[in-house]
Homo-oligomer: A and B are copies of this chain.
Amino acid sequence: MVLSAIKTAVEELVAERGSERVTIPMVAERAGVNPTSVYRRWGDASTMINDIATYRLDPGRPLPKGDDLRTLLTEWADEIIRHYSDPVHAAILRGGAASAGQSQSDCLRNRRAEAGMLVQQAAPVPGITVERVIDHIVAPIVYRVIFIPDSLDETLAPRLVAELFD
């Protein structure tokens, strides 16, 4: 299928060269596809990358279930960290960051929606709001993914959650 070949090519190239250095002819060649097809679908490289970024980041995956917010958040954060530990996904997120603020391209909005669902679904904990989850769980993870990717490890999720709760 054409689209999945393109998707793979984009991911590889963004990881190899950074989102700013990926061009449509490059993607087309690697995907074994005619550049025209890519141009017609997206118009230019940055909308293509952003589209694929949000596509990839929002699989309809199930959220952790349960009552204990602390456990829920730890599992959820850990899954996000594992996801972005893949350099390909990290690179795609950087591409998403570049086009954020532009038009309506925010590849993380679904993560924020997830945070809201978790906080609502669990037994309420005084002082734990969606905003604080964003600021103290999501933001540190995303910051590290983008700027200091080597600092991601399996201790991060429990630590951030602990720092939020205690």
Chain A positions within 8 Å of B, measured between CB atoms, are 18-21, 44-46, 49, 87, 90-91, 94-95, 97-102, 106, 108, 132, 134-136, 138-140, 142-144, 146-149, 160, 163
CB distance from A30 to the nearest CB of B (A): 19
Q: Which chain B positions have C-beta within 8 A of A108?
A: 147
Inter-chain contact B21/A44, CB cutoff 8 Å: yes
Inter-chain contact B102/A18, CB cutoff 8 Å: yes
Q: Of B106, B135, B147, which contacts A136 at CB under 8 A?
A: B135
Q: A95: nearest residue on chain B (CB-CB)?
A: B98
Q: Which chain B positions have C-beta within 8 A of A146?
A: 97, 100-101
A135-B136, A135-B160, A163-B136 known; A147+B44 contact, CB < 8 A: no
Q: How many copies does the complex hold?
A: 2
CB distance from A85 to the nearest CB of B (A): 13
- Complex CA gap A136/B140 in Å reads 7
Sample (23) of A-B pairs whose CB atoms are under 8 Å apart: A19-B20, A20-B99, A21-B44, A21-B46, A87-B101, A91-B101, A94-B99, A94-B101, A95-B98, A97-B97, A97-B98, A97-B146, A100-B147, A108-B147, A132-B163, A134-B140, A136-B140, A136-B163, A139-B140, A139-B142, A139-B143, A142-B143, A143-B143
- Complex CA gap A73/B20 in Å reads 34
**Most chain B CB inside 10 Å of its own CB: which residue of A20, A87, A108, A146:** A20
Q: A145: nearest residue on chain B (CB-CB)?
A: B101
- Complex CA gap A108/B143 in Å reads 10
